[in-house]
Amino acid sequence: MRIIAGMTWKELLRKKVMLLTLLLTVVFLLAFWFVAQTIGKNDVFDGNGMISFSTMIARFTNGAFILMLGFFFGSFVIAFLAIFSSFSAVSGEAEQGIMQAMLPRPLPRWKWYFGRWLGYVSLGVIYAGVLFASILLITRYHAAIPQNPAALLRAFLLFVSTVPLLVSLAMLGSGIFSALGNGVLMTMLYGAGWLGGMLDKLSGSLRLEPDGLVMLHNLTGLISMAMPADSLQRRMTTELLSIKELSGIVDITSGSFSMLSGGTGPSDTFIIYAIGYTLVALLIGLYRFQRRDL
Amino acid sequence: MREAAIETQLLSKEYGNGRGCRDVTITVGKGEAFGFLGPNGAGKSTFVKMLVGLIAPSSGQASIFGHRIGSMEANACIGYLPELYRCQEWLTGLEVLQLHARLCRMDKTAAQRRIPELLEEVGLGQRGKDRVKHYSKGMQQRLGLACALINKPQVVFLDEPSSALDPVGRAEVRSILERLKAKGVTIFLNSHLLGDVEALCDRMALLNDGVILRHGTAAELLSKRSTWLFKVGGCSPFLLSWLNEQTGFQLHETVNQEAASPEDESVVWLEAELDNEEQAGWLNFLIIEQGMILYEATRKKERLEGWFMDAVSGLSHRGEKE
């Protein structure tokens, strides 16, 4: 399994997937730096240079906005990295004939599958960790960020949890559909999840009839069940920002925050559902791969 | 009776479209070279893929040195070169071999010694450090052969090993296979190059629509069609008719492609299909007795290609005479 995971790392590095991702990340972080700087200039100092209470609130408000802006982009990047690195894991190699030379070795199929999964997930999680830390550090430099380690850890785990979820689903799809078909399907599914999240966020400000609102909530709930990635990201921002320091000070569900923030975010039950969803996708993918004719 | 390297019993694979293999039963002895022949779509690759564990059989049983096909024990003693071999083109040839060596759990020192030898043997000695994406199809095929042999397998399955190779490459592959055979490695060869199969394989089987039509040694298969040629002087249509009446052999005039045309117009080549040498001897006697001159009597060497063409001609894809 270690050999296959290592091979996957080498593949992503040699194919310059990571290089291009890192280069574009640097570009993003530079842009993010200037955006954060611009927003951070809204700080107001009193005459003797001391930070007043209102300044502190302003810094946290700015920080919250910058963070949400950063993670809004960051969640897209890690989602697409997870999808596009793994969407052809099975079908692509089978179609090209690469797998036919590898699997007649004394290598159980489950080891190959888990090895690939581990390779994609580990690299994705490391990248997500770097992105997460970069966004926090830049925000901290220009504004203020919540500093509760438990909240940060929970937010980090939720942020990276989309990587195993999307990799498991993309690998399952690649065992059923062609590489191209699976790539399109995964992108559309993720897009649908994102759209469902947006509708959920905006539903409060649409002034719908109660019946229409219920139907909309049901619809977005179903979409979230089919693709929980966006809901996990919304829960992440909720976790990150709903800590003591900001509680009751910054209203993240209103104004310009509403488009970027997670609003109330999904429940703990939904988190358990998402974990189960990931495991089931992984195990069904493995089950199908074990029985697949190559 | 030598130990069985490959044994299959009623091995079948059914697909939705009806293709695949049906009730294939063969035994390949240890150290034997076995040729698997058949037209395109006959089910040869499906059969080999079942033996190496890539396709699960629908029914039947098979083993390699007593180990169930597809098991780790069976896979540990085989090498497999798929048709149109492809590998991770972002690796170098050296790295591909290192990867396969690690998958075979080879000792690192042994692998370091074996890999350069193999690269040299398949003619890639100078290109091992190049990325595979810079290799031609023929070079990739050679690399595939090296991968198949990395673990010094007891059985090698080769699916059209020369398909992407130039004539020099084909000769080299044939030479490698001959060396493997001399070392006692069991070879299972799927090939359309009937000359290679005839030269290398001890036994062969003809598959059509997933069913084995015939199998045996080359001599057994070819002896079913024993054609004799007689170079005769002073032959006339009357004498030819008389010989046919006496023997019932359907002797007829022919052109011998492998010999120059006789200068004397009265000298002709006669051809007949005979069961054995006694019949040839009797015919010789009758020709001489009738005052004709017998210059030469020879058994026409049947090429496997001719036999193959005869065997598959007129067959539908269901393996039946149309």
Average pLDDT over residues A50-56: 67
**For the residues A143-150, what does the mean pLDDT come to?**
78
pLDDT at A252: 54
Residue B298: strand pairing partners: B229
Distance between CA atoms of A20 and A244, rounded to whole angstroms? 39
| Minimal Cβ distance to B54: which of A10, A100, A107 | A100
Residue that wins the pLDDT comparison between A35 and B300: A35
Q: Give yes or no for A13 touching B (CB within 8 A).
A: no
Q: For residue A114, report the phi and psi dihedrals to the nearest 5 degrees.
A: -65, -35
What span, in angstroms and rounded, lies between the C-alpha atoms of A174 and B173? 36
Its CATH class, for the domain covering B4-216, is alpha beta
- Number of other CB atoms surrounding residue A269 within 10 Å: 8
The CATH 3.30.70.1150 portion of chain B extends over 226-299
CB contact under 8 A, A97 and B54: no
The CATH-assigned architecture of domain B226-299 is 2-Layer Sandwich (3.30)
* Mean pLDDT, chain B, integer: 86
Candidates B15, B48, B71, B86, partner chain A, best to mutate (most A CBs within 10 A): B86
SS3 content of chain B, % helix, strand, coil (to 5): 35, 30, 35
CA distance A172 to chain B (A): 19
pLDDT at site A242: 66
Q: At what angle do helices B137-149 and B93-103 cross, to 10 degrees?
A: 30
- Mean pLDDT, to the nearest integer, of A172-200? 91
Does any CB of chain B come closer than 8 Å to the CB of residue A11? yes
Whether the predicted pLDDT of A119 surpasses 60: yes
Judge: A100–B91 Cβ closer than 8 Å, yes or no. Answer: no
To which residue do tokens 């091979």 refer?
A7
Start-end ranges of CATH 3.40.50.300 in chain B? 4-216
pLDDT at residue A257, as a whole number: 55
Alpha-carbon gap, residue B208 to A195, rounded angstroms: 55
Angle between helices A229-241 and A149-174 (to 10 degrees): 170
Residue pair B31/B184 in contact (Cβ under 8 Å)? The answer is: yes
Diameter of chain B measured on Cα atoms: 79
Going across the sheet that includes B67-68, the strands are B20-29, B4-14, B59-64, B67-68
Phi, psi of A284 (to 5 degrees): -65, -40
User: Domain-by-domain residue ranges, chain A?
Assistant: 2-290
Residue positions counted in chain A: 294
pLDDT tier for residue A215 given thresholds of 50, 70 and 90: confident
Q: Is B108 on the interface with A (CB under 8 A)?
A: no
Provide, as residue numbers in chain A, all residues whose Cβ is less than 8 Å from the Cβ of B90: 10-11, 14-15
pLDDT band with cut points at 50, 70 and 90 for residue B301: low
Instruction: Look at B241 and A285; give whichever has higher pLDDT.
Output: A285
pLDDT in tens, B40-95: 888 899 999 999 999 999 999 999 999 999 999 999 999 999 988 888 888 999 99
Confidence of residue B196 (pLDDT cuts 50, 70, 90): confident
pLDDT cut 90: percent of chain A above it: 43
Bridge-based pairing of strands B78-81 and B155-159 is parallel
Residues of B in contact with A15 (CB under 8 A): 90
Compute φ and ψ for B187, nearest 5 degrees: -120, 130
Rounded Cα gap, residues B283 and A282, in angstroms: 76
Asked which of A254-268, B122-136, B206-220, B255-269 is least confident by mean pLDDT, the reply is A254-268
| Chain B residue with the nearest C-alpha to that of A105 | B75
| Residues on chain A touching B147 (C-beta within 8 angstroms) | 101
CB B121: neighbour CB atoms within 10 A?
17
Joined together, the tokens standing for residue B211 give 């069913």
Predicted confidence band of residue A209 (pLDDT cuts 50, 70, 90):
confident
Residue-by-residue DSSP string for A251-270: -TTSTTHHHHS-TT---HHH
